Every structure is written in structure tokens, then in C-alpha cells.
């Protein structure tokens, strides 16, 4: 925090000692309970410091009280530059200094470090708070995680996170303004305060995530998503979790736990922003890794799946991810899906059982069975909603199966985004080449095991 009354203790070198003493009577309480001031020249450069002790010594030697302050100032004063690190500052305080002027490169005073406040305030350098959240692949159970369904019948979703990320970076400001920048969308928004923040653009999801955290301070927020929205990897949930996670850093003893963060992210997307969808994305991205998420009638429990290293490596080696080259409105597809929930109860039960079998296959290291079950899961999911797929998706899927893929599925709500296949290495080149001819290209990925990660770094010129 800056020393706010720097001007009050700054004296032009021609000001009389008598005037300085008058000011000292008012400012001693803010300068370590002793008279202290900075002496500046016509260009506002600091040329010395003055204390009540300096004045007493000079008066004893016969200096007139009406003399200019420059005649009593200490020219060999101790100071630091505003570019000095705090180790350097601490060494200056080791010289028994209590008031330490801070000068810029031109010698102009910009701050005053006081020893009594040094540990509590100036010791803390401005930092960037970053939160990174991976996106997820849902293998089975997606679509059975809607409130309408899990309020009546328990459901299970099997998912993992991969090394595609959404990141939020926060720098605290000295005022109440909130500045938002989306690097991937290339758009920005500024507001004078939280209460004045207006909705109505492509950054509304970020604004809703900010609003729900009720920050009492101004800040710059910068976000970056390594994927386009609407591609079926839970990117919108990941970016919301990232923003909440970054702002949660400033909650101190009131920090939210990971379940609370996931719940808040759901509230932002599904309730505040009215984006129709289920519960899995917020929990999958926040927790990270392979997980079997149980949606009970009155609770959610995330069960991390600890797979053997060789199982992870083999699964990673056999799974292929293909970008369809388009995106879609998940909410529109989910609306239709939501209407079909009542008549899909039997399908949901079969999917739930299949999800458990897929989890067991992974735990036993039977990745080939997992690939077969992935195909069965896709066939069941297509029965839930005729908008989940389309002729082009079916064409690509059937082609991959004909060329040797054991199974696969379209990720997300449906119609576009990413296709995932389990393909033996023997057939991978054929599948990759055939789909590339249709403009569907493979994207490499690896599993992520971390979920939400928050860290700090020193502030630079840019976030």
C-alpha cells in the first residue's frame, strides 16, 4: 500500500525551518511518532531529508529558525529505488532507519517505507494469481446427470481430464474497477465497479463467475481457453471453475473447498446464465484425473479412479481424438434431451450399468473391453436424442469402425465437436488417413491428473 500523505511531508528546499516544525506537529503521528520530511528541489527531486533531530542539532549550533530547510537537512540520507527488491529494502532498515524514502529513476519521491508497517504491507509484492483447469472427456453416463433425473434415480458418469486447459489470471488493482480480457476471443470489458458491471456480450459467463464470488476489490482478469467453445469438452465449465478458483485465492480463511467450487460453477452456468446441461462438467474439470462421479438424490460424490500406470499408458496409446471442425450450441441440444428424460429411463439405467462395467474394466486393466463398451455406450446414447448425431458424424463413425476401431463416441451434447475412438495401433494410420480426407483431423492429447491448480507469480508488465 502506498504512503498516502507523501505530499504532506515533502518540503521545498526554500521553506523555512519554522514552517517545517509547524507541519511536524501535525504529521509526527504518521511518521513513526517523530518529525520527518523530504526536501525537494524545483524539479521535485529529493535532495535530502529533515527530522526534528536534525533541526535541534542545527539550532544548538546557532542556526536561525527562519532559515531555509536546506540549511538543516541531511544530505547523506538513506533511500531505496522503486525498482529495488525487498531484500535490498530490508538491508537499509538494518541501518536502524525507521522512515525510508523511495525514489524513482529520476530521483523523485514516489513512496515512503516505514519499518513498523513494512512486514504487514510493503513486504508483499504485487503478484499474479493464476488458475488452470483441464477440460474433460466423458466416456459414459453423460446425459444422465440432469437434475430432473438424479433427483429421482441415482446416476454415474465416467470421465477423465486431458491436457487442454482454460486459464484465468488475476491482478489486484488499487481502485474498484474490474477489467476483463479474453485472449482467445480477443475481446475486453471494463467496469467502474462490481455493482456497475453490465451484462449483454460474449463475456457474460465470466461476469457471472465474478459476480457470484462478490469480490470487494478491483482487479484485472485475463482468461485464455486452448479450445473453441461448443466443442464437447466441457470448456465453458473449465473457464468458470478457473475464474472462481483464481478469485477463491483471496478468500483467505473463508476459501471454498473443491466441492463448493464445483457447485458454484454449476450455479453460474445452469442457474444464473440458464445454460441447460448436467452436473458432470463442473465436477470433472474441478477434480481432474479419471473419476467415477456418483450423482445421488441428495449429494454428489467424486470417486477418483487410481489406475495402474501401464493401463493409463496403454489407454492413452489406443485412444484417438478427432476434431470435426465445427461447434454447436450445447444448450439447444440439451433442451431436447431434457424433454426426453421421462421416456428414456430404461436407456439411462442401461447406460448407468454400462458405466460401472467400463470403470471395472479400467480398474482391471482390460482396455480392449473398455473399447468395446465405448461402442455400446455410444449406441445407447444415440437412442436418447435424435439430435445427438447427424449423417456426417455417423459416416465418420462407421468408417472408423470399418477400418478397425473397436468403439468410440461423439463428445459432449452431440452433433459436432470431437470424435473419440479406441483404435489398436495396427489400424490407427488407416483411420487417421481416411478421416483426414473428410476434413476430420486428429489432435494428440495426454491425460491430466491434476484438476484445478492455482499458483502465484511475480507481476510483470503484462499478465
Sheet holding 109-114, edge to edge: 80-81, 99-103, 109-114
Can you give the residue ranges of every domain in the chain? Answer: 7-122, 129-448
- Split at pLDDT 50, 70, 90, the class of 383 is confident
Superfamily of domain 7-122: CBS-domain (3.10.580.10)
Mean pLDDT, range 166-173, rounded to an integer: 95
pLDDT mean across residues, the chain: 90
Label the pairing between strands 219-225 and 155-172. Answer: antiparallel
Q: What is residue 127's predicted lDDT score, i.e. its pLDDT?
A: 84
Whether residue 162 has pLDDT greater than 60: yes
206 touches 241 (CB < 8 A): no
Angular region, 401: left φ>0, alpha ψ -120 to 50, beta rest: alpha
Q: Which residue has the higher pLDDT, 252 or 462?
A: 252
Closest among 321, 314, 324, 291 to 141, alpha carbons compared: 291
| pLDDT beyond 90 at 459 | no
- First and final C-alpha spacing in the chain: 20
> Is the pLDDT reported for residue 251 higher than 50?
yes
E-assigned strands of 26-97? 36-40, 46-51, 80-81
| Nearest CA among 106, 96, 12 for reference residue 53 | 96
Burial of 3 (C-beta count, 10 Å sphere; 0-12/13-18/19+): buried
pTM of the model: 0.76
CA 228 vs CA 241, 287, 392, 397: distances in Å = 17, 22, 20, 22
Block residue for cell numbers 527562519? 66
Backbone angles phi, psi at 103, to 5 degrees: -115, 150
CA dist., res. 199 & res. 169, Å (int): 21
Least confident segment among 79-88, 182-191, 300-309, 368-377: 79-88
201 three-state secondary structure:
coil
CA contacts within 13 A on the Cβ side of 59: 13
Nearest of 165, 91, 86 to residue 126 by alpha carbon: 86
In order of 54, 66, 67, 325, 363, the CA distances from 21 in angstroms are: 11, 11, 12, 75, 80
328 has a pLDDT exceeding 70? no
What is residue 86's predicted lDDT score, i.e. its pLDDT?
A: 79
pLDDT tens-digit map of 22-40: 999 999 888 888 899 999 9
Predicted confidence at residue 394, as pLDDT, reads 94
pLDDT exceeds 90 at position 344: no
Residue 208 corresponds to which cell in the numbers above?
A: 457471472
Please name the fold of domain 129-448: Ribosomal Protein S5; domain 2 (3.30.230)
Residues involved in catalysis = 281
pLDDT of res. 1: 61
Coil/strand/helix, residue 404: coil
Q: Is the pLDDT of residue 125 over 80?
A: no
Model pLDDT for residues 87-98, shown as the tens digit of each residue: 888 899 888 889
| DSSP result, 87-149 | HHHHHHHTTT-SEEEEE-TTS-EEEEEEHHHIIIIITS--EEEEEEEEEEEEEE-TTS--HHH
What is the CA 110 to chain-centroid distance, rounded? 32
Residue 341 banded pLDDT, cuts 50, 70, 90:
low
Q: Please state, in angstroms and rounded to a whole number, the distance separating the CA atoms of residues 268 and 245.
A: 13
- Over residues 104-123, the pLDDT tens digits come to 999 999 999 988 877 544 44
Please, what sign has the CA dihedral across residues 411, 412, 414, 418?
negative
Walk across the sheet containing 418-423 and list its strands: 405-410, 418-423, 319-323, 441-443
Q: Quick one: pLDDT at residue 174? A: 85
Q: pLDDT of 209-247, one tens digit each?
A: 999 999 999 999 999 999 988 888 999 999 999 999 999
The per-residue pLDDT for 122 is 42
| pLDDT for res 123 | 45
Amino acid at each position: 500500500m502506498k504512503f498516502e500523505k507523501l505530499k504532506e511531508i515533502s518540503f521545498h528546499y526554500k521553506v523555512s525551518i519554522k514552517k517545517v516544525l509547524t507541519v511536524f506537529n501535525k504529521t509526527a503521528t504518521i511518521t513513526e511518532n517523530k518529525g520527518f520530511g523530504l526536501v525537494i528541489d524545483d524539479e521535485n527531486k529529493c535532495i535530502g531529508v529533515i527530522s526534528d533531530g536534525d533541526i535541534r542539532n542545527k539550532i544548538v549550533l546557532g542556526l536561525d529558525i527562519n532559515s531555509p530547510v536546506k540549511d538543516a537537512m541531511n544530505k547523506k540520507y538513506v533511500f531505496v529505488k522503486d525498482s529495488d527488491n525487498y531484500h535490498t529494502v530490508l538491508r537499509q532498515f538494518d541501518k536502524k532507519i525507521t522512515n525510508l524514502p523511495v525514489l524513482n529513476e529520476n530521483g523523485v519521491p514516489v513512496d515512503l517505507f516505514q519499518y513498523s508497517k513494512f512486514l504487514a504491507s510493503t513486504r508483499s509484492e504485487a503478484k499474479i494469481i493464476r488458475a488452470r483447469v483441464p477440460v474433460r472427456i466423458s466416456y459414459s453416463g453423460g446425459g444422465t446427470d440432469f437434475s430432473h433425473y438424479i433427483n429421482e434415480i441415482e446416476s454415474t458418469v465416467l470421465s477423465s481430464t486431458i491436457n487442454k486447459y482454460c486459464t484465468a489470471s488475476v491482478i489486484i488493482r488499487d481502485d474498484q474497477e474490474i477489467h476483463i480480457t479474453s485472449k482467445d476471443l480477443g475481446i475486453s470489458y471494463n467496469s467502474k465497479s462490481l455493482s456497475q458491471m453490465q451484462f449483454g456480450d460474449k463475456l457474460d459467463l465470466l461476469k457471472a463467475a465474478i459476480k457470484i464470488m462478490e469480490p470487494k476489490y478491483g482487479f484485472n482478469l485475463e482468461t485464455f481457453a486452448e479450445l473453441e467453445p461448443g466443442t464437447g469438452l466441457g470448456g465453458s465449465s473449465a473457464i468458470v471453475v478457473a475464474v472462481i478458483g483464481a478469485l477463491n485465492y483471496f478468500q483467505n480463511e473463508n476459501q471454498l473447498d473443491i466441492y463448493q467450487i464445483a457447485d458454484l460453477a454449476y450455479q453460474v452456468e445452469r442457474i444464473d446464465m440458464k445454460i441447460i446441461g448436467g452436473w458432470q462438467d463442473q465436477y470433472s474439470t474441478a477434480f481432474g484425473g479419471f473419476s467415477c462421479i456418483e450423482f445421488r438424490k441428495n449429494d454428489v460424490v467424486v470417486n477418483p479412479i487410481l489406475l495402474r500406470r501401464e493401463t493409463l499408458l496403454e489407454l492413452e496409446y489406443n485412444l484417438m481424438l478427432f476434431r470435426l471442425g465445427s461447434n454447436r450450441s450445447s444448450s439447444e441440444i440439451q433442451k431436447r434431451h431434457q424433454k426426453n428424460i421421462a421416456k428414456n429411463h430404461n436407456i439411462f439405467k442401461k447406460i448407468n450399468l454400462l458405466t460401472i462395467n467400463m470403470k471395472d474394466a479400467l480398474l482391471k486393466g482390460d482396455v480392449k473391453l473398455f473399447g468395446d463398451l465405448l461402442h455400446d455406450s455410444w449406441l445407447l446414447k444415440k437412442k436418447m436424442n435424435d439430435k445427438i448425431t447427424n449423417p456426417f458424424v455417423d459416416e465418420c463413425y462407421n468408417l472408423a469402425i470399418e477400418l478397425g476401431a473397436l468403439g468410440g463416441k461423439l463428445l459432449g451434447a452431440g452433433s459436432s465437436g470431437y470424435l473419440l475412438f479406441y483404435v489398436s495401433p495396427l489400424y490407427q494410420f488407416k483411420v487417421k488417413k481416411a478421416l483426414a480426407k473428410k476434413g476430420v483431423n486428429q489432435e494428440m492429447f495426454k491425460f491430466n491428473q491434476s484438476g484445478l491448480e492455482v499458483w502465484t507469480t511475480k507481476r510483470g508488465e503484462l499478465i
